[in-house]
Amino acid sequence: MNFMDSCKQKAIDEYRNNYHEEKFDQWLVNKGFDANKAYNKQTKDGTTKSDKRTLPTYIRNLIHHPENKCNEKYTEEELKEFYRKKWLNYYSN
């Protein structure tokens, strides 16, 4: 199974099995991504909690949670880095 098919299958699994973000992020780490991007999660009581995430998960969280204004937008360079890494993994599998 290639990288893109693996990502699609993981997304389906997340939906079907209430798959946790941390497990998906760990899967990305196992695929060669670094969990080095600080994501500030807003809690229900209004405080924030900072966690290290992979760049793909960080970008996903920014898109999925536009109400959370506690994080910086990803840069064009970060997006290019993600795609370079994605294609390297895609063609190496």
64-83 pLDDT, tens per residue?
889 999 999 999 998 888 77
pLDDT of residue 71: 95
How far is 4 from 6, CA to CA, in rounded Å?
A: 5
What's the average model confidence in pLDDT over 47-73? 91
Global pTM reads 0.69
The answer to whether residue 58 scores a pLDDT higher than 50 is: yes
Helix H or strand E segment including 8 = helix 3-17
pLDDT of residue 92: 56
pLDDT of residue 18: 47
| Contact by Cβ (8 Å): 71, 39 | yes
DSSP character at residue 57: H
pLDDT of residue 82: 78
Fill in the amino acid letter for 3.
F
CA proximity to 12, closest of 25, 30, 24, 28: 24
4-38 pLDDT, tens per residue?
777 777 766 665 554 578 888 888 888 888 999 99
Residues in the chain: 93
pLDDT of residue 39: 95
Name the 3-class secondary structure at 88: helix
| Contact by Cβ (8 Å): 47, 30 | no
